[in-house]
Structure 1
Amino acid sequence: MTNGATRPLRAELAERVAVQGRMASALVELERHPGHALLTSGGLTGQTAQLWVGIEGELAGLWRDFDDHRRIVDAATAAADGGDLATLRRLLHDPSIEVSRTALPLHERGLTGVPERVEHVDLDTLHRRMEAAFDRVSAFVARADAAYRDALARVASPAEQLRVARRIADDLGTEQHAVAELTRRLDVVERAATTDPLGSAVDTGPLARDVGAVVARLRAATAVRDGWPDQTARLDAALGELDALRGRMVADRARAAEIVVVTLPSAPPDRRPALRARRAALLAIDGWPSRAAALESLLVAVAAEADTLRAARELASGLIERRGELRGRYEAYRAKAHRLGRSEQPEILRLEEELRAVLWARPCDLAAATRALAEYQRLLQAEGRTA
């Protein structure tokens, strides 16, 4: 019949065996962790490499402690199976596990002292020591993995944008140097994130901005290439409109010179030949980004020339309109003089004769008409105040 005193020892042993199984599972899971794979890849640098040296030593010590724990539990199991309760009790409770051996200097050990200090612990102490080491190692592994994933997440967006840029650049056959330089910069950032996740400050902002600028240029160039017929048709229409604008401007200047006496500024130089030469050279420009920029610049130049021609025409037509305005004002003052009963006054008659002679002359002296009309207005106002 089994002695009842053995049951607590056997129950304790069973618990030790179960704990040992959980230890083994936890250690295996730790070594299968992605962070552990990263740290043991052999390519660590910087702060991560320095920190890993100490943690790796703790991990190795953790496996040694586990081996000692397994050895003691196996020996305790054998003692229990053989009914050796004294050995079972000693293995479970006594400090029988050597955890360190330190050589002592001569002045500390004396003449007859032992040459080294050996530290032994019991299973409970070993268990606590292993728990503390496991917490430190697993926390470091998790921290390294989190830093690595965070860095890769920040790299992901510019990396994807760069893949887009590379595809478009290959399609267009341009921006190859810019894409290659951005790829080199991305490799530097990714390498830092991979080899030193805890020490590398992954700032992808400048890289993302530069990649975005290249993608924008490439997409703009693609839009120009795909819409080239429409874009050039718009340009050709704008160039054709310059012909009409210049014709109207020349006609209005000639009419103004015929109708009014005024010195017009020189007509704007004819820039159409130069603009058409730029239009003819567009397809000879190498690369769609440069071609797109040249097309946009040419459209702006054509629009500016159109504005110049409109302004020159408006100046000439405005002078003709000024004559009509002065005629209208004269008729209004003449009607007012009639209402006031002053239309027969000699000075009024003189001014009316002068104004008719000037305003209906061809060409019309606008300056003289303006002065005479101002005098007519002052005369009516002065006579109104006198009356």
Structure 2
Amino acid sequence: MLTLAEADTALARLDADRSDISANLVELEGHPGVRFLDEVPLAGASAQRWAAARGRLGVVWSQFTLFEGVVARVHEVRARRLRPGPAELSDLTALLCGPSVVLAPQPIPFGERQLTGPAVVGRALTLAQLVGEMTAGYSEVARMAAAADTVASSFLPGVDRADAGVREIRQTAADLELAAIDHPLLTHIATVEQRLNTERALAMSDPLTVAERHPDPADPVALSREIAELRAKLAELRARRESVTQRLSALAEAVEATTALYDTARTAATTTSAKILGATPPALEPLAPLRGRLTLLQTGRTTHWIRLNDEVVALTRDVERARTAADTARDHAVALLDRRDELRGRLDAYRAKGARLRLSEDITVDARYRRAYELLHCTPCDLAAATRALTEYQRSITERTTTA
């Protein structure tokens, strides 16, 4: 049996519990997640789970009413006498510690009934047991409410932000006239938009499933990266469109510069052909087709800018190839003359060496010198023969220097 002090302490705790339970149940009823689940037309798992949870919350309210009734009876017993006697303490002990809460009879599931047993069963709980059951029911509903609120307050706004991004992207695509050429990005945009609509519809009908599927509400549909990639690709297209005119002007300048390079290469090749035996003019592709393509690009502004851009890129590549060919041809022509001049310089150097060694009067050495000199200074110059002659002249000086 409880002492008077123990009974008073227990009663004070019950009063505090009653205040807390009442406040928490009222707050739960007004929770945004509960309102969301009550207001949206639920379907799927959320409809089933919330119907069960709503029923469980109704049971908690009924249990709370029973709880308040027992607490009121405890107060009645305590108020009988200023100093309760054994009878009052016995009643207080029974109410506070015994199975003082009688629940309404519940039907026994048909599969669990016995042939000779009852169809319903009643239960009596202690106040502590009752509070435990109410707490479990409250926690179940509170978890669902919190999950639904996350979907409503974080997930759906995230979907809306993503949708705003898709609308912005679609407007950019329209500005770039991508529909005129059925650009593949339009299909990607439509796919992202459809997935967003699907996510929104699911969140509005089955939010509890969405909450389990997306533990991170900050990235609700895992489409942020795709939207960012689409935005970057469209920005690149916009930059390409804005640069088409400038690059077309630069291309015209490149064609003119290539024409000048062709002239330089041909002039160098002509000079070299006259001075070097066997040198042939470069087989350069004609520039007329490139100029014709440039004219079409400059006048055909009715072409969609992407196709125009692609043609500018292709022509730029071909002009650069022609420019490289002209550079190569010019360098080759100049290299042949440089080679002749180099051989002349080596011949002069060996002539000076031979003079120092008093080999100029040597008939063989002198003959080889004159042969190399004639080959290097005649027009056109046979570089192969001149190279062999210079080598013979060099060998004759080396041999006589060794034997001297």
TM-score norm. by structure 2 comes to 0.75
The reply to whether residue 117 of structure 1 matches residue 130 of structure 2 is no
The alpha carbon displacement at 1:342 in A equals: 0.7
Which residue of structure 1 aligns with residue 182 of structure 2? none
Match of 2:378 in 1: 361
- Aligned residue for 2:378, secondary structure, equals coil
Alpha-carbon distance change, 230 to 105 in structure 1, aligned in 2, over 3 angstroms? closer
1:197 matches 2:210: yes
Return 5+ residue gaps in structure 2 as ranges: 179-184
| Contact 2:107/2:121, CA 8 A, preserved across alignment | yes
State the alpha-carbon separation in 1 of the partners of residues 399 and 222 from structure 2.
76
Deviation per residue, 1:140-173 (Å, 9 max, x gap): 5445655887867987996675454223223222
Q: 1:173 is matched with which residue?
A: 177
How far 1:49 moved relative to its partner? 6.7
Q: Which moved more, 1:321-330 or 1:136-145?
A: 136-145
Are positions 1:310 and 2:318 aligned together?
no
Which residue number corresponds to residue 100 of structure 2?
95
CA distance in 1, matches of 2:161, 2:276: 68
- Which amino acid letter does the alignment assign opposite residue 67 of structure 2? H
With over 3 angstroms needed to count, the CA separation of the structure-2 counterparts of 1:207 and 1:143, relative to structure 1, is closer
State the shift of 1:312 in Å.
1.6
Q: What is the CA RMSD across the aligned residues, in angstroms?
A: 4.0
> What is the distance in 2 between the residues matched to 1:126 and 1:358?
121
SS at match of 2:194: helix
Shift of the 265–200 alpha-carbon distance from structure 1 to 2, 3 Å rule, reads farther
Aligned to 2:399: 382
Check conservation: 2:266, 2:330, Cα contact below 8 A.
Answer: yes
Q: Is contact 1:260–1:362 with CA below 8 Å preserved after alignment?
A: yes
Residue 319 of structure 1 is matched in structure 2 by 336
- SS of residue paired to 1:61: helix
- Structure 2 residue 241 is the aligned partner of structure 1 residue 225: yes
The answer to whether the aligner puts 1:135 opposite 2:148 as a matched pair is no
Query: Does the alignment pair 1:242 with 2:222?
Result: no
TM-score, scaled relative to structure 1: 0.78
What is the SS of the residue equivalent to 1:283? coil
Q: Is the 8 A contact 2:67 2:101 kept in 1?
A: no
CA contact (8 A) 1:69 1:126 kept: yes
Measured after TM superposition, the shift of residue 289 of structure 1 is: 4.1
Alpha-carbon contact 2:273-2:281 (below 8 Å) kept:
no
The residue aligned with 1:27 is 25
Q: CA deviation at 1:134?
A: 2.4
Find the residue that maps to 1:364 and give its secondary structure.
coil
With 64-73 and 230-239 compared, the bigger mean Cα shift is at 64-73
How far does the alpha carbon of each residue in 1:264-291 deviate from its partner, in whole angstroms, 9 at most, with x for none?
A: 37512124523641563363432x4444
- In the superposition, relative to structure 1, how do residues 339 and 204 fare at CA in structure 2: closer, same or farther (>3 Å)? farther
- Mapped pair 1:269 → 2:279: no
Q: CA, structure 1 residues 244+133, in 2 after alignment: closer, same or farther (shift >3 Å)?
A: same
2:303 is equivalent to residue 285 of structure 1 = yes
Q: Does the 8 Å contact 2:244/2:309 carry over to 1?
A: no
Looking at structure 2, the residues matched to 359 and 82 of structure 1 have their Cα atoms a distance apart, in angstroms, of 140
CA contact (8 A) 2:155 2:220 kept: no
Partner of 2:130: 126
Q: Describe the superposition over 1:184-238 as per-residue Cα deviations: whole angstroms up to 9, x where unpaired.
A: 2344455566743244369999855554443333212222333444322222211
Distance 1:212-1:348 versus aligned 2 partners, 3 A rule? farther
Q: How does 1:52-71 map to 2 (within 5 A)?
A: 55=53, 58-70=56-68
Where 1:183 maps in the other structure, the secondary structure is helix
Q: Does 1:352 align with 2:369?
A: yes
Match of 2:193 among 180, 183, 195: 183
State how far apart, in whole Å, the 2-side matches of 1:53 and 1:372 are.
108
Task: Report if aligned partners of 2:96, 2:127 keep a CA contact under 8 Å in 1.
Answer: yes
Offset at residue 262 of structure 1 (A) = 2.0
Contact 2:371/2:389 (CA < 8 Å) preserved in 1? Answer: yes
Conservation of the 8 A alpha-carbon contact between 1:355 and 1:373: yes
